[in-house]
């Protein structure tokens, strides 16, 4: 690895934060690794400033779309946001870059946020409990 590669890696590791959806252990590990690489290649603090995160989240989009399809919810995407309609009055809004999601209920005044959380598994759990069922046990 040369100095330019090390600088690129240090900058990428600086983007691993709690705000970007990383776990505390991942943030700690990234900080320690970044510090060691910077020391080894004599990279100054000014050189290792945070770089803007890429705006394309196609891998994240695939995971979210798959999750929504499990519950027969059609997913739509625009830039770093995705959404889906749950029932007739609820909207799922997902920020792909931070993995934050929220459920909004339609009211006369507009939309009101009902639930706001982070992570794929938390949305899966919410949908298992609250998504409309696509079947009925009624006898025909």
Question: Cα-flanking dihedrals φ and ψ of residue 102, to 5°?
Answer: -150, 150
Residue 68 corresponds to which tokens in the numbers above?
């929504």
Question: For the whole prediction, is pTM greater than 0.85?
Answer: no
Instruction: Give residue-wise pLDDT tens across range 63-94.
Output: 899 999 999 999 998 888 899 999 888 999 99
Instruction: Give residue-wise pLDDT tens across range 22-62.
Output: 778 888 898 899 889 888 888 877 555 554 544 445 668 88
Query: Which residue is associated with the tokens 């499990």?
Result: 70
**Biggest alpha carbon distance in the chain?**
75
Locate the domains of the chain by residue range. Answer: 3-48, 58-130
Give the pairing type, strands 81-86 and 90-95.
Answer: antiparallel
Query: Which residue is associated with the tokens 């600086």?
Result: 14
How many angstroms separate the CA atoms of 51 and 129, rounded?
A: 39
Contact 132, 86 (CB under 8 A): yes
Residue 28 corresponds to which tokens in the numbers above?
């700690």
- Structure letter (DSSP) for residue 128: H
Q: Which residues contact 43 (CB under 8 A, 6 or more apart)?
A: 3, 6, 7, 10, 37
Pick from 88, 76, 82, 70: which is nearest to 127 by CA?
70
Residue 73's pLDDT is what? 92
């Amino acid at each position: 690895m040369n100095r330019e590669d090390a600088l690129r890696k240090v900058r990428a590791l600086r983007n691993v934060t709690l705000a970007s959806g990383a776990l505390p252990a991942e943030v700690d590990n990234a900080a320690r690794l970044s510090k060691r690489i910077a020391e080894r290649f004599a990279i100054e603090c000014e050189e290792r400033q945070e770089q803007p995160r890429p705006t394309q989240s196609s891998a994240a989009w695939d995971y979210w779309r798959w999750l929504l399809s499990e519950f027969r919810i059609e997913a739509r995407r625009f830039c770093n946001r995705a959404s889906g309609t749950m029932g007739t009055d609820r909207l799922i809004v997902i920020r792909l870059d931070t993995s934050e999601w929220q459920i909004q209920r339609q009211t006369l005044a507009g939309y009101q946020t009902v639930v706001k959380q982070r992570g794929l598994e938390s949305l899966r759990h919410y949908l298992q409990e609250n998504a409309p069922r696509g079947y009925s046990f009624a006898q025909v």
